[in-house]
Amino acid sequence: MKSPIHIPVLLRESVEALKVRPGGRYIDCTVGTGGHALAIIERSLPGGQLLGIDADPEAIAVTRQRLAEFGEAVQLVNDNFANLESICTRYSFRPVDGILLDLGLSTLQLEGESRGFSFQREAPLDMRANPSQGLTAGEIVNSYPEADLARLLFEYGEERASRQISRHIVANRPINSTLHLVGVIEQSFRGKRGRIHPATRTFQALRIAVNNELENLQSALRQAVALLRPERRLVVISYHSLEDRIVKNFLRQEEKGCICPPKLALCVCGRQPTLKILTKRVVTPAAFERFTNPRSHSARMRVAERVCPGAGEGTPIADQGSAAKTNIREHPKE
């Protein structure tokens, strides 16, 4: 059986933002089925190297076959990007010239029938990116107290109806499949439908909780900065507001550097900027991409460049983090 075809989101924009060059060394932290990775390694030849990381062993297997022609120029690792620094140390892959994180689900995961990432297909309530992980979505749905479940749906899914959904879930336990859960969620809305499917936010919240996604993202971002050479790029593509908020706030803090209280006139903490933001406004897919690949419609890309050590030294707090010019097409509004 052939693997479903995954269309990489913001492919041209992300590769250009990375400034991929021959002989460079790059990391795709969420290699998936290799769409971005293929474009990066091709542009980095001759002499380029790529380290691809993914928590999903199925994705690694597909990509290993897809990129086999590049031999030792490509190293693929079945691991979580939360372990980014230790992975790079293990494979002597540091420092690097560019790091990409595409935080979306792959078509392989969405269309698979074994792990239940999609609310449109019948599957077990699993949602683990790596099947060897412990906690499953089914365990959360069937064992969490109602109040804890409601809190999870509200915090990770931004679901306003979290309490009524949790109440219906608890009343209908045990729930053992995706479509069973979808039916229970739909019952809690009593036939009322909004702009998006009523199960969307609940499935998002469960997936985030199962895979510890937000904490892993925060950890990976911190490690990525330390791995980049000066004047090299970090590119992150997110797909919902929780992820994008983490990325935006992280980049802003690293550009500012200083963590002194705002009321102080001069910086006394000595913390220097590590990044320069190149996308003051978020980059989104063009209309043609959104039309041809509907799954791209919520994508938001942010780009930053590693600054040389000591950049911004002695700068008053109000002047730190000045805007950088870039030729990347930006969305007009946040």
What stretch of H or E contains 303? strand 300-306
For Cα atoms 251, 28, 278, give the angle at the middle one, nearest 5 degrees.
30
pLDDT in tens, 8-64: 999 999 999 999 999 999 999 999 999 999 999 999 999 999 999 999 999 999 999
> What band does 3 get if pLDDT is binned at 50, 70 and 90?
low
Residue 325 pLDDT > 50: no
Judge whether 27 and 88 are in contact, CB under 8 Å: yes
What is the Cα–Cα distance from 199 to 270, expressed in whole angstroms? 47
- What is the CB neighbour count within 10 angstroms for residue 169? 23
Judge whether 272 and 311 are in contact, CB under 8 Å: yes
What is the Cα–Cα distance from 22 to 299, expressed in whole angstroms? 28
pLDDT in tens, 207-222: 999 999 999 999 999 9
> What band does 312 get if pLDDT is binned at 50, 70 and 90?
very low
pLDDT in tens, 197-251: 999 999 999 999 999 999 999 999 999 999 999 999 999 999 999 999 999 999 9
Closest CA to 17 of 302, 264, 285: 302
pLDDT for the residue numbered 4? 55
What stretch of H or E contains 49? strand 49-54
- What is the CB neighbour count within 10 angstroms for residue 155? 15
Residue 74 pLDDT > 70: yes
Q: How many CA atoms lie within 13 A of 190 on its CB side?
A: 2
Per CATH, the homologous superfamily of domain 11-108+213-319 is Vaccinia Virus protein VP39 (3.40.50.150)
| Domain extent listing, the chain | 11-108+213-319, 112-211
What is the Cα–Cα distance from 322 to 319, expressed in whole angstroms? 7
Residue 131 pLDDT > 70: yes
**Buried/exposed code over 243-261 (b: 16+ C-beta within 10 A; e: otherwise):** bbebbbebbebbbbbbebe
pLDDT for the residue numbered 270? 75
Closest CA to 178 of 108, 246, 102, 126: 126
Answer CATH for 112-211 from 3.40.50.720, 1.10.260.40, 1.10.150.170, 3.20.20.70: 1.10.150.170
- What is the CB neighbour count within 10 angstroms for residue 214? 16
Q: Look up the pTM and report it.
A: 0.88
Reduced to 3 states (helix: H, G, I; strand: E, B; else coil), residue 105 is coil
